[in-house]
Chains A and B, each alone.
Chain A
Amino acid sequence: ETGVTQSPTHLIKTRGQQVTLRCSSQSGHNTVSWYQQALGQGPQFIFQYYREEENGRGNFPPRFSGLQFPNYSSELNVNALELDDSALYLCASSFLAANEQFFGPGTRLTVL
C-alpha cells in the first residue's frame, strides 16, 4: 500500500508569483484535503476535494484553488503569492465515509 506523496519537497518563490503543489493520495482513498501549517502552529484546513469537486473550504481567499483528477490525485494552486503564504502545505487523503486522514510529508513553501 502506497502512502500519501507530495511534490516538490521544498519550493522558493517570489512575492506575486504563482505556485502549484501536487499530491498523490493513498491507495484506496478518494478524498483529498489540503492544510496550511505555519511555523509553530497546527495545520489549518484550506479545502477538500471529492469526486473532482470542492467539498468544503476553510477561511482562505480565492487565490487558493485546487483540482482533483480522476485518479484522485490533487493540485493546490496559489496565485499572487504573499509573504504570509510561507508555510508547510500538507495534503491528507481519506475514504469519504471514514474520518481517518493520513498526511503526506508536506511541501515547504518559502515566499521571498
Chain B
Amino acid sequence: QQQVKQSPQSLIVQKGGISIINCAYENTAFDYFPWYQQFPGKGPALLIAIRPDVSEKKEGRFTISFNKSAKQFSLHIMDSQPGDSATYFCAASANYGGSQGNLIFGKGTKLSVKP
C-alpha cells in the first residue's frame, strides 16, 4: 500500500531551537522524497528534496536525513524562527521508466515557533 506516515501532528518549538519532523514510507519503489512548506491560504512550496542515493542533504537551515533501510526520512530545521511557523508536508514518489509518478503526501505537521 502506498502510504507516507508523518509525525508529530503538531510541534511547538522555541525560537532558536531545532524542529524535527519524521516520516516513514512503505513502498520501496519510492525514489524521490520532497518536503513542502505551506502557509495558511497558500499552495505548498517546495522546500528541499532528497533521493535514496544520499543519506543527508542540507540547504541553509533545513536538513533532510534519510535512512533507506528503515524506510524513514526526517526534516530538521535549525535555529527555528517565528517565520518558519507553517504546516510542513513530507511526500514521496516513484519514477517508472522515466515517467514521473504522483506525489504521496503525509498528513502534515503544524509547526509553531514561539518568540
Contact = CB atoms under 8 A, between A and B. Distances in A.
A72 interface: no
Interface string B77-115: 000000000000101010100111111111110000000
Nearest to B44: A103
A99 B105 CA distance: 14
A99 B100 contact: yes
B45 A103 contact: yes
Contacts of B98: 96-97
Contacts of B89: 42-43
Q: Range of interface residues on chain B?
A: 20 to 34
A77 to B, nearest CB: 19
Contact of A101 (B6, B103, B104): B103
A45 B108 contact: no
Contacts of B61: none
B102 A48 contact: yes
B44 A90 contact: yes
A105 B42 contact: yes
Interface of B: 6, 32, 34, 36, 42-46, 49, 89, 91, 93, 95, 98-108
11 contacts: A41-B107, A42-B105, A43-B103, A45-B102, A45-B103, A55-B99, A56-B102, A97-B98, A101-B46, A103-B44, A104-B43
